[in-house]
A and B are shown apart, each in its own frame.
Chain A
Amino acid sequence: MNSLISVSNLQKSFGGSAALSGISFDVQVSELTVIIGPSGCGKSTLLRCLNGLELFDGGMVRIGDITLDRKANLSHGDFNNLLRNLREEVGMVFQSFNLFPHLTVLENVVLAPMVVRKVDRRSAEEKAREILNKVGLGERLQHYPSQLSGGQQQRAAIARALAMSPKVMLYDEPTSALDPGLVGEVLAIMRKLDDEGMTQVVVTHEMNFARDVADRVIVLAEGEIIESGSPQEIFTAPRDERTRNFLQRYL
């Protein structure tokens, strides 16, 4: 199998109520996977489990050759190291951007490579400029996040994640906090990355984007995958009643 991400029987509950009950799926290299589903169905929780921001109760997550397994009894320190290795491979983009407000755009982007990967400032800045040019922020290097529009902020956040050269990019509703007019510029970046062969997992309500760009769509409901397949299958011939109800609200 050539899968880059492998999730099997993932379980997570918050105080007794299950948020994820037995999720399994694989993502191949260069695929763009879109996860959709009604509010509260566990999309964010699933994404957060993929980079260890949320610790799951059962099952297994593998990304590349790093495996998180509840059954492997690791010491506290070993587990933390494993988590950090995993996170270095996985870029995460948040709905609310979460840029560091006390740093300029350029500093936001070079911080992690310098601190985590110990890259020297010159090469970190060189690479940061390159990435920021790619996301269209070449002219905004010395701006603070507060001086940027929402769309620019989210593009800067994507650049920040890309600077760590991750194998996978995860997005949790990256355009939900944006004015409708600014959504396109962020989606365009993801499209561009897809063209370049980046493996991406996107939680979104942008159904047009999902239909046009996704290699596969996963439909989540009440902590379970109720359906998954090509956009064609999901959008034109949904099999599950719940999928049909959900899609009606967006199409």
Chain B
Amino acid sequence: MKKNYLCSLLILTSIFLIGFPFVTTSRAQQPLELKWGGDAEGGAPYLLPNPKNPREIVGFEVDLMTSLAGQMGRKSVFTQNQWDGLIPGLQRGNYDLVVNGLEITSDRKQQVDFSIPYYATGEQLSVRTGENSINSLADLKGKIVGTLKFSLAQRILERTGGMEIRSYENQNNAYDDLVLGRLDAVLMDWPIAVYYSKPNPKLKFAGPVIEQMEYGIAVNKNNPELLKQVNEGLLHLIKTGELRRIYEKWDIWNDETGRLFTKLASGEVHGQVYEDFTQNITKQLTWSERLRRYAGYLPVLLIQGAPMTLLISLLGMAFAVALGLILALIYLYAPQPLSWLSRAYVEIFRGTPLLIQLYLIFYGLPNIGIKLSPIVAAVVGLGLNYAAYEAENYRAGIQAIPRGQMEAALSLGMTRAQMLRYVIVPQAMRLVIPPVTNDFIALFKDSSIVSVITMVELTKVYGQLASTYYDYIGVGLLTAGIYFLMGMPFVRLARWVEIRLATERRVEGV
């Protein structure tokens, strides 16, 4: 006992020693990334290459995201993406959020969820300095008006009608054409106008801002957990005045945003999505409503979660069974250093938490250039861990085969390898079926742990549903029930095999 204890202490110490330099330089200790997409070509004040150092991207949205990510305990990582491809990129999973002057509109809300607004503004008309006849939308009849492609301004102009609309990729080109007289007016989001029109002495603002609009952070529809975190983070930044400081630094603080923030801070007004979201939590449900809602969860759990859980478990177990056999054979038959290494493997993987192993594989290995996808990391992590247990099963099974079997095989002229392959291992396999089946059921339930490495499986889906609807008990029982029913066939199988082998042995007992 004492020797074993000392041994594991030594192993643990060596893990720390090996792991220490690795961890301090690694990402594993740093916060999780919060990846967001935007288009730095969009320009000031949103996102632009720093004029002093073009390799750096700056903008009020960069400052916003740095603060927000910090508030969420994560690290802001900007991902460049073409502006009109930002939402498809989000849906493809290239990044977690889109933050790039995205107006909250009802048609976009069908594709993505929006956070509470982080900025409110309107559209600003600009004209040449000498122009005095244009002061409102109504004055644009028969004129040539420039704007940005796919923007709210473009839709306002289309709705108003009666003018020629020119859509630009780039605000510079639009304002240049206005100066040159190719356009009579330009309608753009007020912050853009502040940066590209106001400083130009040949241009001026015409009239007050038109229509109110709000920018929101877009989040994938299936990610209510993240949405909730973003909203909480934004609200905190609003209440502490952090956002206002950022906007003042960028000279885009305005009355609209001021009013918006007052409402948000006092809890008066929430973004539409936020309202939908909180309604789910606070609404009292009748029993039949509740049951209908649970019936609605079932397909989500069964389609999104269960197959992945089953797949990871089966692949992980196949890996564990194969590696376990190799480890056991090395331990029993290979020469000294190898045999010792196999033993060390078993002790280390049995003696350290699976959770830590998964973290090391998923977040640690990339530091030495091995970047595994979540599913591969999950299968490898479960497989490596359970291989240690399977190795022990096999070792016990092989050692339980009578010595006479080995002697009979050798006396027939077989090599050791042939003896193992045709005589010993097949018999050991039959002995280890019951313990291996039991381990599979344990692995099946342990697979819930891989949700920590971004795997979306049964437990992850449970977490998402439970936090969205704030219903940990109902969804929890439902999920546990699914695990139970899915594990049932394997429990049955284990018992059936055990009974079968027991009766066989009774016949064999000569």
Contact = CB atoms under 8 A, between A and B. Distances in A.
Interface of A: 51, 53, 80, 84-85, 87-88, 90-92, 94, 96, 98-102, 111-112, 115-117, 145-147, 150, 153, 157, 160-161, 164
11 contacts: A84-B414, A87-B410, A88-B413, A98-B402, A100-B409, A101-B427, A111-B422, A116-B418, A146-B507, A153-B510, A164-B413
A147 B426 contact: no
Interface in B385-441: 402, 404-405, 407-415, 418, 422-423, 426-427, 430
Given A53-B410, A96-B404, A116-B413, 11 more contacts: A84-B415, A91-B411, A92-B411, A98-B404, A98-B407, A101-B508, A111-B412, A112-B413, A116-B414, A146-B504, A161-B411
B207 to A, nearest CB: 92
Nearest to A177: B510
Nearest to B430: A102
Nearest to B504: A146
Contacts of A80: 415
Contact count band on B: 20 to 34
Contacts of A115: 414, 418, 422
Interface of B: 402, 404-405, 407-415, 418, 422-423, 426-427, 430, 504, 507-508, 510
- Kindly name the residue among B413, B422, B507 whose own CB sees the greatest number of chain A CB atoms within 10 A: B413
A84 B414 CA distance: 7
B507 to A, nearest CB: 5
Contacts of A150: 510
- Name the 5 nearest CB pairs between A and B, nearest first: A98-B408, A146-B508, A112-B412, A98-B404, A92-B411
A165 B276 CA distance: 84
Nearest to B428: A102
B412 A161 contact: yes
Contacts of B408: 92, 94, 98-100, 157
Contacts of A91: 411
A57 to B, nearest CB: 20
A180 B411 CA distance: 27
B427 A87 contact: no
Contacts of A145: 508
Nearest to B412: A112
A164 B415 CA distance: 15
Contacts of A90: 411
B404 A94 contact: yes
A161 B418 CA distance: 17
B495 to A, nearest CB: 22
B200 to A, nearest CB: 88
Nearest to A117: B413
A90 B404 CA distance: 17
Nearest to A101: B508
B427 A102 contact: yes
B434 to A, nearest CB: 16
Contacts of A51: 411
Contacts of A94: 404, 407-408
A167 to B, nearest CB: 13
Contacts of B412: 87, 111-112, 116, 160-161, 164
A146 to B, nearest CB: 4
A112 to B, nearest CB: 4
Contacts of B413: 84-85, 87-88, 112, 116-117, 164
Nearest to B416: A80
Contact of A100 (B405, B410, B510): B405
- Kindly name the residue among A51, A85, A115, A150 whose own CB sees the greatest number of chain B CB atoms within 10 A: A115
Contacts of B404: 94, 96, 98
Contacts of B402: 98
B404 to A, nearest CB: 4
Nearest to A51: B411
Contact of A53 (B407, B415, B423, B430): B407
B182 to A, nearest CB: 88
Given A102-B430, A111-B422, A87 B411 contact: yes
A53 B403 CA distance: 12
A150 B508 CA distance: 11
Nearest to B404: A98
Contacts of A161: 411-412
A98 B407 CA distance: 8
A147 B510 CA distance: 9
Nearest to A111: B422
Contacts of B504: 146
- Kindly name the residue among A87, A90, A91, A100 whose own CB sees the greatest number of chain B CB atoms within 10 A: A100
B203 to A, nearest CB: 90
Nearest to B411: A92
Contacts of B407: 53, 92, 94, 98
- Kindly name the residue among B411, B414, B510 whose own CB sees the greatest number of chain A CB atoms within 10 A: B411
A123 B8 CA distance: 55
Nearest to B429: A102
A26 to B, nearest CB: 22
Contacts of B409: 100
Contacts of B414: 84, 112, 115-116
B369 to A, nearest CB: 39
A90 B411 CA distance: 8
B506 to A, nearest CB: 9
